[in-house]
């Protein structure tokens, strides 16, 4: 595993642990509390969202994050087959 992936996994674990106890947070609170870069924060949040562990709600430049099941993201569109 490369160092970036390790940082993302660590951040996702820290965020999961915090949210499991506190239920909600903002992206800014998490960034400051865990002293992580914006890139790692948002990649970790994306990972947790994709796994259905959190829900996200945009609030200006921040996100409100809630622990719990999130709606599943839409599936990628299937390639269209052209009949010839």
pLDDT in tens, 37-81: 999 999 999 999 999 999 999 999 999 999 986 556 566 777 766
> In terms of Cα–Cα distance, which of 14, 19, 27 is closest to 63?
27
pLDDT band at 30 (very low <50, low <70, confident <90, very high): very high
Write down the pLDDT at residue 61.
92
Write down the pLDDT at residue 82.
61
Say which CATH topology domain 3-67 has.
Arc Repressor Mutant, subunit A (1.10.10)
Write down the pLDDT at residue 66.
96
Q: Which residues pair with 24 in a beta bridge?
A: 66
Write down the pLDDT at residue 1.
82
Q: Is the dihedral angle over the CA atoms 43, 58, 16, 70 positive or is it negative?
A: negative
| Alpha helices (H) along the chain | 3-22, 27-34, 38-50
- Please report where in the chains the tokens 């924060």 appear, as a residue: 41
19 φ/ψ angles, rounded to the nearest 5 degrees: -70, -30
Question: What's the whole-number mean pLDDT along residues 18-40?
Answer: 96
């Amino acid at each position: 595993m490369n160092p970036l992936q390790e940082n993302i996994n660590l951040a996702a674990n820290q965020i999961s642990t915090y949210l499991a106890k506190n239920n909600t947070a903002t992206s800014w609170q998490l960034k400051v509390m865990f002293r992580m870069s914006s890139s790692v924060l948002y990649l970790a949040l994306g990972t947790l969202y994709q796994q259905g562990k959190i829900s996200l709600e945009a609030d200006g430049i921040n996100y409100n994050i809630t622990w719990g099941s999130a709606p599943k993201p839409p599936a990628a569109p299937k390639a269209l087959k052209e009949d010839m």
